[in-house]
Structure 1
């Protein structure tokens, strides 16, 4: 088993969201994967092993398994490309088959995938109020044109849109209180966004459920945002650029493209900076 470390959705070779990608010859036990994810300490580690003509993949945060993770999928695509060449690789996640394409550009490795199907649901007023309280947000600080919703493209995310980029930059939250709301709603993250234009959004993604204060780039949430915009008729199709991680000092860029057909998967792409790989040592292997 070889563990690679890479930053997905990096911008000009800098920033991005660190992910672990473990290339395994066989399936590992859940306890081993959870222990390794906790040891690595990134927001997610993707564990892959060959299964027929595809690759079986599972995603683990330091505290929990995640049904789908966009940035770790982008990182996995680049690592598969590094090992086996450019082209398409079919990933079998817990939810759906997700094709990922690895390619090269002047900046280095790139990857893109098509997300699982999307859907959007109402959030109860009580949950919206509790989420606002967690972040210390007044009702008039929210963007009325982008109402709070639960959105999904493989995992649940709650969307909170703010009127001010400055307010987004000052995000802070009550960790334990938000964790409780996330557990009640089965949320992966809360996605806070500021709409700069119809095509450009700034985002921040607290990830208390996974034991991480904030994610610098969240591909699954980006796909869910596109589904949300489509479902609410705000932007029925087209392209988006999502800038995330700036306020953490890890600027990330997520490129999004989607069609008008409701529920269909969203195309997510980004640059990947690969830091290298190493064989896991005996201490870690002994967990299995």
Structure 2
């Protein structure tokens, strides 16, 4: 199989979250895709094959399949635009149908996707206590304007809003303990955020469920956060920008557009760049 190595949500010629993109005539067996994702080694790889008027899409982390991955979707949209020309592509995921719009020009390469529907709910007290202990936080560290919540944008993400940027920068946790909590609660990521302004956020996204300590850019979490901000009537004015990966030395920028309709899809956009030449992988 031919693997494209594309960084999504790049910041100009720098940063971006790497994804493996594999365009196929037909999807391989699940075991083959899981083994390939483990060998590629990125936080997610995406496999896509034409099926009718859409593309059948599946996402794999090195250790587990996930139903939706935002940065891999951006990488996929860019790859489809490069192969087929700029345009809108329909994607059939495991549990949702979404679209991604890929664009390609002399100066810009990237994509925008429409997320699955969003929703959010409060966090159970005992679960919040476990999460706070995992990251060494106490109630005084939290921003009361954005209460802890489980936000969904294709998967569940635990949102913890912090009062200051310094606390976010110092984030540490035990990966093994994080895996236990994430598996128990079925959290795709833990989304720790800091609101610099009403429309500019800084984020760190541990991904222990997939065996990844931290993701430098997480489009699904960006969609989930944006849906949650709409639910709590945050003054987002229709869009937010998320700075992620800076604390890892991998600067990423994610832009979201938020309509007024509660529960509606979120549009998430980002630029892409090629990391290395395509690779032939034998599994």
Higher mean displacement: 102-111 or 164-173: 102-111
Alignment of 1:225 with 2:225, yes or no, is: yes
Which residue of structure 2 aligns with residue 197 of structure 1?
197
How much has 1:235 moved relative to structure 2? 3.3
Alpha-carbon distance in 1 for matches of 2:224, 2:193: 12
How much has 1:276 moved relative to structure 2? 4.7
SS at 2:31 equivalent: helix
Alignment of 1:41 with 2:41, yes or no, is: yes
1:38-187 maps to which residues of 2 (within 5 A)? 38-105=38-105, 107-187=107-187
SS at 1:56 equivalent: strand
TM superposition score normalised by structure 1: 0.95
Alpha-carbon distance in 2 for matches of 1:277, 1:52: 30
SS at 1:25 equivalent: coil
Contact 2:3 2:281 in 1 (8 A): no
Aligned residues: 283
> What residue ranges of structure 1 are gaps of 5+ in the alignment?
none
Alpha-carbon distance in 2 for matches of 1:215, 1:253: 13
- CA-based RMSD of the aligned residues comes to 1.2
Cα distance change of structure 1 residues 257 and 82 upon mapping to structure 2, 3 Å threshold:
same
Residue deviations 1:79-108, cap 9 Å, x none?
Answer: 011111111111111121111111135643
Alpha-carbon distance in 2 for matches of 1:86, 1:144: 43
- In the TM superposition, structure 1's runs of 4+ consecutive aligned residues that sit over 6 Å from their partners are none
How much has 1:236 moved relative to structure 2? 6.4
> What residue ranges of structure 2 are gaps of 5+ in the alignment?
none
